[in-house]
Structure formats: C-alpha cells, structure tokens
Structure 1
Amino acid sequence: MSSNNVKIGHLITKIRQERGLTQAEFARRLGTSQSAVNRIEQGKQNLSLETIARISTALGKDIVTLNHPKSLSFEINGGKELHGEITMKSSKNATVAILAASLLNKGTTYIENAPRIEEVFRLLEVLESIGVHVKWIKGTDLEIKPPAKLRLDRIDAEAAKKTRSIIMFIGAIMHYHNEFEIPFAGGCHLGKRTIAAHQFALEQFGVFIETQSGKYVIKVGKKQPENVTMYEMGDTATENALLAAAMTKGKTTIRFAASNYMVQDLCLFLQKLGVKIDGIGTATLTVHGVDKIQKRVKYHPAEDPLEAMLFISVAAITNSKITIKRCS
C-alpha cells in the first residue's frame, strides 16, 4: 500500500476522532459504508481528489490543501436574520490553562465538556508527543495522565508552534526538569518584550528563559519567593506564576495579578488539586504550595464569555432573536 495513503488514512482517523465521530457516523456523513471508511483509514484505498474533497467537507477540515498552509480565509454572506438557540462551549482560555496545569498532577485529570477546537487539539498533540496519556471520553470529556517522566526530547514542534499557549507549560514543567526547551509560536521571533511578563514573574522563582532561534531555553534554579510582583497584569503570565507557585514550598503572594475569568478557573482547578489559594478574583493571590500532587480529579471549566458576547453581538447586529444557553 502507498505510504501516502497510510499517512492520509492516519490523518483522517485523527481528525474524525477529534470531531467525536465513530466510523459509522463518519460513513453516513460521507455517504458510504463503514467498511469503506475502515479501508480508507488503514490506507488500503486509493483516493481521488474528488473523494478527498468529500472527506474534507464531511470532517469540516481540509485534508490536503494547495494553498499556503498558514493562510486562513473566510467568505461571509450576511444580511440574514437568525433564529434558534445555542449552548455555549466551555472556555477555551480556561481549558488551555488547565491542560498546562494537568502536568502538575501525577494522577489522572478529567476535564469535562472540553471544547473541541483547534488550539485544544494542538496542545493535546504536544502532550501526547511528550508521553502524556490523552483520551476523549464520550466525545466531550478529556482524560489526561502524565508519564513518570516527560519525554521533552520528543516534543511535537510543529503542533507547539501553532499555539502561543505553549508558554504556560513552563510553569508546570519547571517542577520536574532543571533544564529544558520548548518551541515558540510559529515563525514569529518573539523577543524579550513579548514574553517579559512571563520572564520577570518566573525569574522570581529562579527560572530563567532565554529566547533562541525558534525555541525557549529554560534553566531552573528554584527559589522560594514570599512575594512576586507581576510586570504587567497579563492573564497567561499570571497563570504561569500560579503554576510555579503551586508546587513551590511555603506561601507565595502574587501581586498585580490578573483577575480575569480564566485565571479564576485555573485557581479553582488548582484548589481541586489540593493547592490552597486566597484572594481568587482579586489582584492579590496568596498560594500555599504543596510538595506533591497525585489526585484523581474531575473539573468542568466555566462556559466561554467571549463566545456568549459574540452571539449577543451577532443577534444585535442582525436584529435577530436567539436564545443563548449556559452564559458565563
């Protein structure tokens, strides 16, 4: 069988599973049999361009593209009144922070109703590449369990470069590795000013980040700061500081902390892991660090307020009446 067919088959399988589809459900969308889908996914069937186009439509994602892979365009035909109802997904920004925080936990983390969106998929690819067990349950919930030792030498650089959230892995990984590297977001040579808030916060924990070509080099010489003052009130930088403080011995007070919804969600998740945090929702957070985290924990991130505001705006602009459920 063709190696290209096998690669395409594996890609189709992965995207189908990301979409929460069984082979039978995918076959119905495609208008074919489950046995045909099985042959396609095993790379045992030659695929015409027409078939690939049908598969792309059924999955809602291009399998093969002739365009530049980094370009993304939308054509919007507006002027229509909308109606109906929609239920909000869990917050993407909270979920990616919790994915990073799951690396702290040597037990099993279950994220309920995780949003099935590209940034989450990319971070899951990174987690899998370094040895983390990742499994979708019933198409909506995530099961995550880190290995005894992370395989950072095998990190999926291409997936990591597609999300800026990778920077938050530093605050968790620093507790298990004294020196490591992670890629940074796709091709954009981020300078010190770009990650200054992360650098200044983590330096107070003895963590030093050097920006090199295409990667961050992190060296850890642990400190136990009683007080950490943020360089700026940034969400992901505050989350990195929280992850750093979670397993730093003693009490750490983080001042000028962001109090946005995703930071509060991360605080609540860390408390489920046994990390006591005072001042949630304020600009001053006091974190009581723990030596070890090994728990079986379930957590449901709050619904995404940005998504709710999007649909509120859409309804207002189009003079439509729609019902938005589970607003956060």
Structure 2
Amino acid sequence: MGRYVLRRLLQLVPVFIGTTFLIYLLVWALPGDPFAGKCGERACPDAYVTRMREEFNLDENVFVQYFRYLGNLLQGDFGQTFSGTSVGELIANAYPVTVRLAIVALLIEGIIGLIAGILTGLRSGGFLDNLVLVSTLFLISIPVFVTGYVLQTVLGLRLGIINPTVSSEAGFGELVVPGFVLGSLSMAYVARLTRTSIAENSRSDYVRTAVAKGLEPRRVVGVHLLRNSLIPVVTFLGVDLGSLMGGAIVTEGIFNIRGIGGLIFRSIATREGATVTGVVVLLVIVYLLMNLLVDVLYAVLDPRIRYV
C-alpha cells in the first residue's frame, strides 16, 4: 500500500503541472485588457499600465509567466491582487468558511442519501421507495437557488427558526441549512446511486452464497452487500467535495457567507486574475488528494482489491 500511495503521489505531479498550466493560460492569456476600469471611467495612464505589466510579468512569454508563478506557488506565495493585497491572505480568510460549509453539505448528503438509498434498495417497490424516488426527482428538478430562497424565506423570515443570513463567524450550527441547500442535489444523486447499487448487488452470487450459508441478514447486508455497493458512492462523494467547494457561489450569495464562492465571483467581475488562479489551483489540489483518498478506500471496502 505504501508503494502504491508513493507512486500515485508521483503521478499527481505531472497532472498538477498540466492542470495548473491550463488554468493559468485560460485566465491570463484571454484577450482583453486586465486593467480596464481600474482607473474609473477614464483609461489608466500608460505609465501605470507599463508598471503593472512589468510587476505581473505580463510582457513575458506565457510559459515564462507560468513557471515564475509555479516557483512562487511552491514557496507558498499565491501572488498579489492589482491593489497589492496578498492573495494568500484573501484565501486564508475565505477558505475555512467554505471548507466548513462543504463538510456540512457532504455529511448531510452522505448520511441522508446513504440511509435513503439503503432502505429503498433493500425494499424496492414499496411506499418508501416511491417516496424517495419522487422526492429525489423533485430535488434534482429544482435549481439550488430556488431551494435556498425558499428555505431562507420560510425558515428564516416567516418562522424565525434560523437567521436569514450567516454571521461572520459562520459556525457549524449556522451552516446546517446552507449546507443542506448546497448538498441537496448531490444528496438526491447519492440516494439514487446507493439504491441502484444495492438493488443490483443483492442479486449477485456472493450474496446468495452468504444467505445459503445461513448468515444473519444483518451480517449479509453489512459485511457483504453494503461494502461492495458503496464503491461507486464513495467515488461520487470523494469527487463531490471539490465540486461543493467550487460551486458554492450561489449558496454563499443567498446566505451572505464570506467564502471562496463569493471571492471567485468578485475576482472574476474585477478581472483579478491572480486571485482566480490561486483559488482554482487550490481546488485542483483538493480534487487530486480526494481522488487518491478514494482509491485507497477501495481496498478497505473491497477485500478483493490489492495494491502493490
């Protein structure tokens, strides 16, 4: 296992370089003036534009720009905005909030989705199965911003159960409803994926053999059926963590959460390429590490999988 993890970490290096280069190229090599609108309604003076282009290495070849950026990135320097603010400080202030929100959303979609999928997969065709299928289809059909506004209006403004907006501290308790909104779509997919996987594996030969041996139903489900059925679900949940962090723009906007989503939106609107690049590079790292974790969990769930 140790050799496999080391080999996978080495494989992540070219993937990281390739993806970050594409991100850098897409952000900085796009046509247009990044300094447009930085000086109000009037065009920026030529001296200002020249100085800024030299400071951000925009006069250099894109490959030279990228490797200079990569060298600074390996030292923990994410660069600076056009106003001189450290991108690392902006990320450090916004990232913990989004991480907490993504963890809450992941727990909600994992727990509720798995329970609903397991119950309906074991007893397909009944009332509960139809109820889950209809409710998950309902969640899939409704946009996330509609779910967010409905819960904010009903639970926050009318019933007063929650605060309509999240405070600056953004504790885990305040993030339960926003986390449900953020993870509602994925929760529906987890429930359906779990249901389908369990229903399919319940007809497998190894399940019939376990039942024929006289094993208790609880052991058949928990040890044999559930572990093998969770492999596609774990794959989805592992990849979804990065999606939740990068796709929280709408949810953070509805509940006034100062996280990564709002930071990306403001940076795109003001053409702050350094901030956009830094945030997306961080999300790439999350995706790569979560994929490695999912691969390691495969061996835990399925004893037939062995890494050498």
Q: Normalising TM by the smaller chain, what interval? A: under 0.3
Q: What is the TM-score normalised by the length of structure 2?
A: 0.23
Higher relative contact order (CA 8 A, sep 6+): 2
Between Structure 1 and Structure 2, which shows a larger proportion of strand residues? 1
